[in-house]
Amino acid sequence: MRMVVFMTYILYCFYIGVLLVFLPWSALWDANGLAHRFPRLGDLVLAGSVRGTISGLGVLLLVVGAVDAISFIRHGGDEEA
């Protein structure tokens, strides 16, 4: 059971990580209705520094998932590790 939970966690890390890396630079991000409704919020959300910060969080999540997966493989799925 723990292995299923751990694999779900790893998949979550990779999925959300990839989403956070690429979503801020997509057309979907630019078409945000909330940003168009509130211009100051839109200016903030569409700023390159905010997009870069969100992408950086995505990269960090990918690294965390990769380190945990490597640790899991090295210890052979041992629950004590």
Which residues are within 8 A (CB) of 60 and not within 5 positions of it... i.e. 6 or more apart?
17
| pLDDT tens over the chain, length 81 residues | 788 888 999 999 999 999 999 999 999 998 888 888 888 988 898 899 999 999 999 999 999 999 999 998 888 766 554
Domain residue ranges of the chain, discontinuous segments joined by + = 2-74
Which residues are within 8 A (CB) of 12 and not within 5 positions of it... i.e. 6 or more apart?
65
